[in-house]
Amino acid sequence: LNSRDPQALAARVEELEAAGGSASMAAFDVTDTAAIRLAVEQIDRQFGRLDILVNNAGIVSRNLLHDLTDHDWNSVLDADLTACFHLAREASRPMVRQGWGRIVNISSVMGNLARPSIAPYVAAKAGVHGLTRALAVELGPKGVNVNCIGPGFYPASQNEVVRRDKAFYDWVANRAPLGRWGDPAELGGAVIYFSSPASSFCNGQVLMVDGGMTIAL
């Protein structure tokens, strides 16, 4: 498990172990390329292999175009797109060596759609779709499948501000044919699919888990 917060990671490890699973943790910032390299090397040494990478870290900055700073733009692109590239580059090294691996990028419906005030986020998530395809064609022949999941609207710390706006919350719920926000547990099946032999012939794809939002007018 990865996060910038060791205490949050430790709590999640305890939760998983209490449920009968096992887990280890590596606390580092995904925008720190040296820390990424060191973490992957440590995982490889500890376990002798690395099978699955899920690129799930991300941030959002909310400002209209004329109020966006260079820092706003760069920080979102660094965390939401460039970090996926750096993590995939390092994690795929042991995957290629062993001839098998799975990389699952987490994008968003905003990779296909757009809303005002989140231009860096929209650009980054569209970039994740392109990165997924590029890595899939390069790594696929080496036994590493690369796919992407595009979540719709789910409760998360990044959207807590807009979730407090009941009018917006209800508008989002009604925008999707299923008429509600998603439950974070509903993303698990897609991750398992892309990580398992069930998806062995699926490569370079973006699966929208959005209640039908991106196919509805």
Residues acting as catalytic residues: 121
Find, among 129, 143, 114, 126, the residue nearest to 205 by Cα. Answer: 129
As a whole number of angstroms, the distance between CA 202 and CA 140 comes to 10
